[in-house]
Amino acid sequence: MLSYYNRIEEALAENRALWQATIIETTGSSPAKAGMKACIGITGEYFGNLGGGELEHGIIAMVRVMKPPLPLMQSFNLSGALADADVQTNMICGGSAKVFIEPLHLAEELYIFGAGHCGRALAEQAIKSGYFTHLIDNRPEQLELFPEVQGSHKQLSNYEDIAGLIKNPQSAWVVIMTHGHLHDKEVLEQCLELQLKYLGMIGSSTKVAETFKRLRDKGIEQYLLDQVHAPIGLPIGSQTPHEISISIMAELISIRRNRI
């Protein structure tokens, strides 16, 4: 069991998508026994024991298809028709099994490009708000100013391979705030090629308009630019890095909760 929990700790340090399935109870002659548990990753990652056979394969397949964002209880039929079963199997051992499935990782991932005062303040707010936060910058001395905190990851990057940094674009939130806006256009152009859950960029209305014009001149379609939240943040009159981070976080939370 120590090895089992060590593997969970290693996976969660990297926020690898991971669900734990626990057998709650069984009836009949199921190979699974109450208390058995295993962890299931999106692709090939799997460790633990759910009794083997079709039940185990069925649980793994269900998790990888559903990717449940919240804990849930599922019942599995192990023989013929069973009225209250959520999932039917072809097993002939008889009985049923109830399985509790829970996500262990943080489903929401926020990528902050720029580890300046505002970027670090936003990272702090995001971690407290339940985001696994990636703080990215091309200046190692700025990354060193942000402590090693559970629920976060620091990445040194020259901003040339954004797609390689974002593991699951469709579920990723991205905020662009590079130092002095020097790399904002470069990062934004690459991000527009990804199907992100959220894409926002800091800057004044004038700066945003100028950046958008340069991208249109390069052939970027307007409909792609229309998806960018810029200037970013709710209009609360924020000025300091802390206030700016609150305005941005408020926007992210509002979108996550379907309020705007």
Give the tens place of pLDDT for each residue, 84-139. Answer: 445 544 544 557 889 999 999 888 899 999 999 999 999 999 999 999 999 999 99
Radius of gyration of the CA atoms of the chain, in A: 22
pLDDT over 70, % of the chain: 93
| Mean pLDDT score, 19-32 | 88
Domain 109-256 carries which CATH code? Answer: 3.40.50.720
Contact criterion met (CB below 8 Å) for 245 and 118: yes
- Residue spans per domain, the chain: 2-103, 109-256
φ and ψ at residue 38, rounded to 5 degrees: -155, 160
Q: Is the pLDDT of residue 72 over 90?
A: yes
Q: Is 163 exposed, middle or buried (0-12, 13-18, 19+ CB in 10 A)?
A: exposed
pLDDT value at residue 94? 59
pLDDT value at residue 81? 44
Q: Is the pLDDT of residue 208 over 80?
A: yes
Q: What is the mean pLDDT of the chain?
A: 90
| Mean pLDDT score, 27-33 | 81
Strands 46-48 and 87-88: unpaired
Contact criterion met (CB below 8 Å) for 175 and 248: yes
Angle at 143 between CA 196 and CA 185, to 5 degrees: 40
Contact criterion met (CB below 8 Å) for 114 and 94: no
Global pTM reads 0.79
pLDDT over 90, % of the chain: 71
| Mean pLDDT score, 58-76 | 91
Q: Terminus-to-terminus CA distance in the chain, angstroms?
A: 45
